[in-house]
Every structure is written in structure tokens, then in C-alpha cells.
Amino acid sequence: MYEVELKCRADHESLRARLNDVGATRTGSRRQIDSYYNAPHRDFAETDEALRIRREEPATGESVTKLTYKGPLVEAESKTREEHETAVDDENALAGILSGLGFEAAFVVKKDRTFYELDGYTVVIDAVDGLGEFVEVERETDEEGVESIREGAIAVLETLGLDADDQIRTSYLGLLLAADGND
């Protein structure tokens, strides 16, 4: 499965108003704490891959933990990658397994996210600790659908008054590392 994603900086106040104007449906919000790991056999920063444990803390209900692998970017026009994700019962046990296999904790990214649905796409308003305000437009597809899904995501950005030419293809992790001078 591939995740096609376009990400831009965005003012959240005006973006929320625009989402309301175009009839987007708010589907939830949560705090996410992403712990990224590096592999003992290759440097994910060099291969443009990511392995993370994500803890999601919804406003109400139980926390959920997921393990995610993201492959390298597959095209120049968007932030599209192969992605595999699964739920995890015990976050501490998983961290112990990864550590035991030689994976090293690399960095933590924390963000507050509000999710909307618009024209079959997920629109995510992100407030990232240490970085500021962003919006992501995303949708999953198979390899054959990447181009058409990307074009649809561009249309959603335009509907929201944003320009796809302003998109950022660097992950929040990459942006935080660059801001820290750890790049």
C-alpha cells in the first residue's frame, strides 16, 4: 500500500474556517507521540526510510500504539511512500524487542492532530511541537493509483486555498533534525 501525502505550512484559524465553508467533516483529534528508530544494518536517514512506534492519545478513550515502517519516497511530486502499519499490544515490550535486535531510539516527534474528511481525502491539521502549524492531505492507494490520487490531493489543497507548489516533502522528523542542526 502507498500513502500519497501533500504537506504545507498553514494558518490553522483560516484553514478551519475554509474546511467549514467547503463542508469538510471533522472526524476526530488526538495527540501523537512518535518514537523513531534507526537500524543496526543501515542508516534510515541515508536510505530515506522510517521505523517508528506511534502512541495515539485520543481526547476520549484508550491510547493506541502502532508500529510503522515507511519506505523511501517514490516520486518527486509528492511525499508518497510505501507504508506498512500494525497495532501493538505492549509498547514497552516492542521497544525492548527493537532494542534487543540492535535498533536504536533516534528521536521523538510530538504533535496534536485534527482530522477531517473532504472529497475522499483525509485532511489533517497538525500542530507539531518545535515546528508550528501544518496541513496534510493524504490518501492510500496501490502503485497504479499514485498519480491520480496525487492530482486529487492537489485539487483538495486548491479547494482549501493552498498551493501545492508550497508543499514540503521533508518529514516532521527531518524538519526537526534540521532545526536542531542534527541533519
Distances (CA, A) of 145 to 4, 62, 118, 177: 9, 34, 18, 32
CA distance linking residue 5 with residue 2, whole number of Å: 10
Nearest to 158 by CA among 182, 135, 128: 135
Secondary element (H or E) of residue 134: strand 132-141
Given the residues 2, 36, 116, 172, select the one marked as catalytic. Answer: 36
Distances (CA, A) of 144 to 4, 57, 74, 99, 147: 12, 34, 12, 36, 8
**How many CA atoms are closer than 13 Å to the CA of 92, on its beta-carbon side?**
0
Sign of CA dihedral 11, 175, 90, 67: positive
Helix, coil or strand: residue 74 = coil
Task: Confirm whether 116 is a catalytic residue.
Answer: no
| Residues identified as active-site | 36
